Amino acid sequence: MKMKKFLALLLTAAMALSLAACGAKEKQPSEGGTEDENALHLGYDPATGEEFYGPYYDEWSDMTDEELYELAKQEDATINVYATSSKMLKEEEPFEEMYPGLDVVVSDLDSDEVLSKAQIENETGNITADVLQTKDVNGSVFFEYYNQGIIEPFYPKDICAHIAEENLKYSYPLYSSQAFWYYNTKAFPDGQPISSWWQIIEKDESGNQKYRLYTKEIGQESAYLSLFASFINHADEMAADYKALYGTDLEYTYDPSGFSFEVPENNAGVEYLWRFSQAKMTFIGDGDELVLAVHNSTAEDPALCLASAGKIENQEESGYDIAWCINLTPYTALLNTESLFVAKGSNSPAGARLFIRFITGGTDGESGGLKAFTKVGNWPLRDDVEDKKNPAKLSELGARANDLDAIYAIYPDVQDMWTLWLNQNPNM
């Protein structure tokens, strides 16, 4: 096995054993410890060696908006936000109106830029960033940026009381999104034609694939690879789902040879990855074109596509005959959570936390900060904030929280398996 993968597996295995027993924690500095030893790290405590998940509460967690505002006025009044969404630009003016004297400057970047800029600033000691917004779908942010002391968590306790703890495990969330399989509503007027992931790759009695499949190239989409990694980690659920659907035990047909690491034997998730990689697929990089392909399909030649939830807007905006396939077994999708972090060494630590509270709704969910991020395909995770945009509640769709620790351990191997097996696909 490659050394980096071996080390990742060791790290995650060790964490998994101890983290399971740990929940929300209060930061308690060790007596006589240095500043570095008492530094806040989600993932491990350098003073004790203890590993844990969030939510993780410290002295900032109990502070009110008013207390943070008073502190923020004594700091650098400029709060620099590195964001992966241009919608964050809409937060500048309302925040500044609510908190006179503070100035928000948003940099609209892609996810890699957010993290790389924060890392360079941390390494050089020239910290500009105060707040970071990014998404972690495979554990790289959690394991590589917290543990390097580049970012630190902020969990406001009053707001976290309105968010399910499973959604606070790795970071403080702004909102969640997910991908769905889409079907053509005219071709299937009685509802979605599939109820299980196994049916997506099903063949008819003649051995022909039932559905034309459209998707982005899985190997270039970390969120999709993470979902397949999750199936491997939950192989027992995949095997049970197959038997419940077809009444027989799953037959394992994949060849584990050809890899520099050990591929698990008789793993239903690996079997699914293999079978999916051999299906006839069309890769399309644009989500609107993916759902258009489904809209153009027929009952005689049916198609499914995997695309982001927000593409359902084409149903009303463009008149497409499309709908989500929901409540697939063993689960529909993984939640992809946009999260907020404080840059380690921020010149505006109170201002950064005040801004984070503002854009996640404030104490009562009524700050107005969530408004810019409210759209079809984005789900707020607070139980006291009404979701007025989506056609269904998050709890009704069959998705589950991302298990980043388990995914991080095998993600590189899953990527290698997909790449090799896709290259063996005679249909591609």
Q: pLDDT by residue (tens digit) across 313-345?
A: 999 999 999 999 999 999 999 999 999 999 999
pLDDT in tens, the chain (428 residues): 333 343 343 333 333 333 333 345 555 433 333 344 445 455 656 566 666 688 989 999 999 999 999 999 999 999 999 999 999 999 999 999 999 999 999 999 998 999 999 999 999 999 999 999 999 999 999 988 877 889 999 999 999 999 999 999 999 999 999 999 999 999 999 999 999 999 999 999 999 999 999 999 999 999 999 999 999 999 999 999 999 999 999 999 999 998 999 999 999 999 999 999 999 999 999 999 999 999 999 999 999 999 999 999 999 999 999 999 999 999 999 999 999 999 999 999 999 999 999 999 999 999 999 999 999 999 999 999 999 899 999 999 999 999 998 999 999 999 999 999 999 999 88
Write the DSSP assignment of 36-51 as a string of letters. Answer: TTT---SS--TTT---
428 lies in some domain: no
Residues 247 and 296 in one domain: yes
Residue 352 shares a structural domain with residue 273: no
Residues composing the chain: 428
Report the SS3 class of residue 389.
Answer: coil
Q: How far is CA 79 from the centre of its chain?
A: 26
Q: Is residue 199 part of a domain?
A: yes
Instruction: Please check whether residue 398 lies inside any domain of the structure.
Output: no
Clarify whether residues 322 and 202 are in a common domain: yes
Distance CA 26, CA 62 (A): 11
Are 344 and 329 in the same domain?
Answer: no
User: What CATH number does the domain containing 132 carry?
Assistant: 3.40.190.10
The secondary structure of 302-344 as a DSSP string is: -EEEEEEGGGGGHHHHS---EEEE-S-BS-S-B-EEEEEEEET
Does 285 lie in the same domain as 136?
no
Q: State the sign of the Cα–Cα–Cα–Cα dihedral 305, 311, 312, 314.
A: negative
**What's the alpha-carbon Rg for the chain, to the nearest Å?**
23
Determine whether 213 is exposed, middle or buried from the number of CB atoms within 10 Å of its CB (0-12, 13-18, 19+): buried
Q: Which tokens go with 189?
A: 């007027």
Q: Is residue 331 within 8 Å of 241, Cβ to Cβ?
A: no
CB atoms inside a 10 Å sphere around CB 136: 26
* Domain extent for 86: 15-176+336-393
Question: Are 237 and 107 contained in the same domain?
Answer: no
Q: Are residues 26 and 160 both part of a single domain?
A: yes
Domain presence at residue 403: no
Does 109 share its domain with 137?
Answer: yes
The reply to whether 100 and 171 lie within a common domain is yes
Same domain, 82 and 189: no
- Is 3 part of any domain? no
Residue 405 domain-assigned (yes or no): no
Q: Per the confidence metrics, is the pTM higher than 0.85?
A: yes
Token pair for 206: 């003649």
Question: Which residues are CB-contacts of 390 (< 8 A; sequence separation ≥ 6)?
Answer: 309, 376, 377, 378, 379
Same-domain check for residues 151 and 46: yes
Count of the separate structural domains present in the chain: 2
Location of structure tokens 């972090």: 341
What residues are paired with 196 via a beta bridge? 329
Considering the domain boundaries, does residue 6 fall inside one? Answer: no
| Same domain, residue pair 215 and 340 | no
Question: Tokens for 47?
Answer: 């003073």
Check the CA dihedral 112-113-115-121 and report its sign. positive
Residue at 359 is within a domain: yes
